[in-house]
Structure 1
């Protein structure tokens, strides 16, 4: 990272606990700088050992993305919009007593999680990969819930302060 570019845009916004890197990237590119990504950088990721902390992590990631969009007046990318719609679509299940069609989004999501798990198990040759689809689905649902939690509690533009 070029420190002069980092300093020129004010560095990280300390009000962000999550998604601060994407928020900084937005300001860097708006100021004419480039973001370079490379597959040559090695890193090791250690996933959360328990489901509760993983859900909390992704809930906060969703909140961070919503804050980023609000602060910068931007729209979500298509892949983010699809994930954001997951929680509202699944919530339609409460209307299932009035029509089975309202359960369809939740059932399709669960089916996608199961199919994803089967694909992971087949690709890795590990039967425990079946659980990975459900874990990934849980991460997406938590992200969506966090996104909406933040989006619906947003402050009017006049109350937001810049970094």
Structure 2
């Protein structure tokens, strides 16, 4: 295992490359890039967009922004896969600090300044903060509430906040370039869970992954039940892949959704044989009812949460249970 570096990053204001994997982000791309270009950071910055084959005006919008500001660079990502796009953008970059931002996220004006401060203070190889979900519709607001609550997604600090300190993984991430290069960048076999998998390898290589709640990133949730279910199904599916590839990376929090799905389903079926066996399903239903009251800010959100919370739990659980070993063979 390598010894982690605690050296400062070159100068007080090292250059920063902000990399974004982009696919079908017409609605949010301009806001995401504007939040990067309006930083108060005093050092040199560049924004590298790895754009996949989108079916909307994403490329057109990106080209317009790039023509207006030379700091914005476009690279083609033929596969459209997130990890491949991140690696293409990383290869194009030159800066000692690499900051990942997504096309549907927005960072506060002091984000890059804080990133350099925290990297230098902690000696971490990757730092990240709060995935602050904020919706623009009633459904999105309900999803955002569930994503910010331990009743919806568990107690991960990057969802719910908390004290600064060492963690297993962070949302997005701001990296020391040499640490990313040392482990070979992002594993392109992973369609999802690239962050979990990457941070495991960073820690295995002796690096520190650090959470700081001051790094507050605005995240836009999915806008429909179908999109939300697909997202969480893929989360569960690929988290299972990480657990197979890297033993010891699973914990009880990740096992809760599949056990909830199995218990609820078995309880519903068995209850027709012996009504007492409806009890586990009734307990989960009561949990959803009470959690929705706790999370909701109005009556409309409450009723939406009755669908949102089980969708998140059961889709994640279904993905975890059904994840095939052939996605990424353990032997590779």
Match of 2:287 in 1: 112
Between stretches 112-121 and 64-73, larger displacement belongs to 112-121
Alignment check: 8 A CA contact 1:113 1:134 kept: no
Relative contact order (C-alpha < 8 Å, sep 6+): which is higher? Answer: 1
Superposition map of 1:36-55 within 5 A: 36-55=210-229
- For 1:119 and 1:160, how far apart are their aligned partners in 2? 41
Match of 2:330 in 1: 160
The SS at the match of 1:98 is coil
Per the normalisation by structure 2, the TM-score is 0.44
Q: 1:75 Cα deviation (Å)?
A: 4.9
Match of 2:243 in 1: 69
Q: Check if 1:147 corresponds to 2:317.
A: no
Match of 1:27 in 2: 201
Match of 1:134 in 2: 307
Q: Judging changes above 3 Å, is the alpha-carbon distance between structure 1 residues 133 and 29 closer, same or farther for their aligned structure 2 residues?
A: farther
The SS at the match of 2:212 is coil
Structure that is richer in helix per residue? 1
CA RMSD of aligned residues (A): 1.8
Q: 1:22 Cα deviation (Å)?
A: 0.5
- For 1:13 and 1:99, how far apart are their aligned partners in 2? 48
Q: Judging changes above 3 Å, is the alpha-carbon distance between structure 1 residues 48 and 109 closer, same or farther for their aligned structure 2 residues?
A: same
Match of 1:103 in 2: 278
Match of 1:84 in 2: 258
Larger radius of gyration: 2
Alignment check: 8 A CA contact 1:58 1:142 kept: yes
Q: 1:106 Cα deviation (Å)?
A: 2.1
Structure that is richer in strand per residue? 2
Between stretches 138-147 and 103-112, larger displacement belongs to 103-112
Alignment check: 8 A CA contact 2:240 2:320 kept: yes
Match of 2:138 in 1: none
- For 2:207 and 2:249, how far apart are their aligned partners in 1? 21
Q: Judging changes above 3 Å, is the alpha-carbon distance between structure 1 residues 63 and 40 closer, same or farther for their aligned structure 2 residues?
A: same
Q: Any stretches of 5+ residues in structure 1 without a counterpart?
A: none
Alignment check: 8 A CA contact 1:61 1:146 kept: yes
- For 2:244 and 2:312, how far apart are their aligned partners in 1? 22
Alignment check: 8 A CA contact 2:244 2:330 kept: no
Superposition map of 1:9-24 within 5 A: 9-24=183-198
Q: 1:15 Cα deviation (Å)?
A: 0.9
Residues 2-31 of structure 1, C-alpha deviation per residue, up to 9 Å, x if partnerless? Answer: 111111112111111111101111111111
How many pairs were matched up?
155
